[in-house]
Amino acid sequence: MFDQEFLDNENKEISKEYKKLLRISYRSLTKEDKSLIRKAFNVALEAHKDQRRKSGEAYIFHPISVAQIVASEIGLDATSIASALLHDVVEDTEYTLADIEQLFGETIAKIVDGLTKISKMSKEGDISLQAENFRKMLLTLNDDIRVIIIKIADRFHNMQTMDSMRPDKQVKIASETLYIYAPLAHRIGLYNIKTELEDLSLKYTEPDVYNDIALKIKESKEEQDRYIKDFSDIIRTALDEEGLSYTIKGRPKSIYSIRRKIIAQNITYEEIYDKFAIRIVYRSDRANEKFLAWKIYSIVTEFFVPNPTRLRDWIAAPKSTGYEALHITVMGPEGRWVEVQIRSERMHEIAEKGYAAHYKYKNKDHKVEQSMDQWLSKLQEALESNESVNAVDFVEEFKLNLYSKEIFVFTPNGDLKSLPKGATALDFAFNIHTDVGLSTRGTKVNGQLKPLSHILKSGDQVEVITSKSAKPSSNWLDFVTTGRARSKIKAALKETKKQIAIEGKETLRRKLRSQRIQLNEKTVNEMVNHFKLKTSLDLFYRVGNGHIDNKDIKDYASQKNNALVSFIKSKIRRNSKQPEDVNKDEITSNYDQLVFGEDEEVFDYKIATCCNPIPGDEVFGFLTVNEGIKVHKKTCPNALQLQSNYAYRIMKAKWIDSTQEDYSAKISLNGLDDIEIVNKVTDLISNTLHVNMKELNIKSNGGVFNGIITVSIKNNRNLNHLIDKLKKIEGILKVSRE
């Protein structure tokens, strides 16, 4: 297949990459370390000698690349580097776990075993299976956090080398990366890798968007470099006069974060003002770090006016990931807001390397290491206390806290507690202790009584008022945002429901006996269907709390003998259901504008109400269990989860004709209040462009108006044309599609 010259060159390249691995290691490698890594490399080379990747290159390049990421980008130790080299050996070759343990010892064998278990998880399946796999993956953290870190490195390299894969596989892996691996990388403190994982994921899930933003960043790079130089030159002299050793660099915003801001704020790329941040990294011993950070702050703010609402001090109160820095936003040259990040070299290493860099400084400062240990402890508690919780709910609740920004609040005794931004007083109660949360009767914030739903701010002092008689209710779930509080409330409610259901079962048995009906599995199933419930627990619970009473049970008993007749009637009713019975929130269509699959076949479909796509939008089809094909926009809030967990049910879709039916679309606009503005808008829509306007709602406040217009439109092109025309009306400042 390959000639000898090709193989000789390939072997030279393998040797070159191995030597690079030793050279770029973040840690200083001892003679024993190098010997261990060499041994692992030889075993991996032998094990994978007959394997090749889809791109055609020798498989050994993959474990070497993963080991390089582990060694340099993340900065782990020799044990981790060796484990990375061996991470696919047990799964893909004839080597067993026993062989690895015999050759390399228990620690490396345990890490490789954890990595093998993750890789063996089903690549397909419904969301509950994917969620259960995610929970199992997190369980490996209890053994050794290096398992997850190496797995993130493995995924990082796979994302960098996906070009040779099928497009559907690319979307599946990219969506899963955004859903699971990027948030985990963020939580472990691997910010650089998190950012690149997000960008690479966008490259495959929305390639046109990615390429468009990447091109615009490239085109504006020269102008940005000039601006960063002008900004730096202004403060450089003052920093030099203080005798500081430092570097100043510009850090561009990631493509993914720009995309997220465009969607969240309904703005264009050109309207984003903070496309980069300026980072000042200074050299300091540990004792003077904080003093020098504030000295640099004072120098920067001597030249540029700071925004007082945008000061973030993560030196006094580091993030729970261990991140430390001073962030300020100042008014820079040309009237542009600029974020300035101030970090010591130690802080910078922790920000770049995350968990791995903690150990370099652990003898000098345990604060960072302790924060990671606390997180691992909370994770273990979450895994143990949520064993009975639905896996999908567990994953969603766990992810709630991965990306959340933090606030810092105080207990009555002055202890500092970290909570995600948006946390409520009830979240705080559960953060103190589960028993405190479950017995909460009320809360005081800064000495004043506040409802349990009160959203906390950094600096608040919170006191929890408890009572032995207090019990959680289902509406508490509306008052909390943290996964911990939510899972504890759900577990308590479930336990209460179980107790009521036990009593309800005995009550039902007695009441059925009086109707000469025996309570058995058949009867229970019939009653569950009769009352349109999901489980027997729901039935017993409703009997126990009185929602199903004597009259309901007698009605069931009287209908039991006519069950067959009732079934036939309901079957007839279902088969003869008229179109008007269809859910009015969903738009059905039998038109041929939308085609599916590579063969561009025509099927019946429904428009998903979560994103309401119209002809011309980038869309995909999703095959539901009961409702056929539903069509979603590629930018739908639910797209990521669907593509990650149900890749095998995703259908390629595109619009080919949209002249036969009008679709409803909402346009948002605002501008300067003018008595003629409504006339100008309606005249343009109805008389000039001949578009049918279904609804118009405009509100005025303080010389500014905001409006929502609902129009009946043929397709996306016509809608964009209408928006462009509206933007040109004098007095209108912003127009966007809702």
Q: Which residues are catalytic, by number?
A: 91-92
DSSP class of residue 297 equals: H
Overall residue count recorded for the chain in this entry: 738
* Both structure tokens of 286: 């540990």
* Both structure tokens of 511: 């009441």
- What is the CA angle 62-67-71, rounded to 5? 150
Interatomic CA distance for residues 312 and 308, integer angstroms = 10
Dihedral, 386, 392, 396, 397 alpha carbons, nearest 10: -20
- Nearest partner of 63 among 164, 194, 157, judged by Cα: 157
Place of tokens 């207090």: 470
- Sheet with 692-701, edge to edge strand ranges: 692-701, 704-713, 663-672, 732-737
Report CA-CA distances (Å) from 11 to 23, 24, 56, 408.
Answer: 19, 20, 14, 55
Residues 622 and 629 sit within 8 Å (Cβ to Cβ): yes
The alpha carbons of the chain give a radius of gyration, in whole angstroms, of 30
Distance between terminal CA atoms of the chain? 56
Residue type, 458: S
Interatomic CA distance for residues 440 and 721, integer angstroms = 56
Cβ within 8 Å of residue 438, ≥6 positions away? 470, 471, 472, 488, 489, 492
In DSSP terms, 444 is beta-bridged to: 449, 463
Residues 503 and 544 sit within 8 Å (Cβ to Cβ): yes
Helix axes 391-400, 483-514, angle to 10 degrees: 150
Place of tokens 């003002």: 273
- What is the CA angle 273-276-278, rounded to 5? 120
Residues 101 and 109 sit within 8 Å (Cβ to Cβ): yes
Residues 82 and 36 sit within 8 Å (Cβ to Cβ): yes
Place of tokens 């691996």: 181
Residues 476 and 452 sit within 8 Å (Cβ to Cβ): yes
479 by Cβ neighbours in 10 Å (0-12 / 13-18 / 19+) ranks as buried
Strand 704-713 versus strand 619-623 pairing type? unpaired
Residues 729 and 667 sit within 8 Å (Cβ to Cβ): no
Residues 637 and 679 sit within 8 Å (Cβ to Cβ): no
φ, ψ (nearest 5 deg) of residue 95: -65, 140
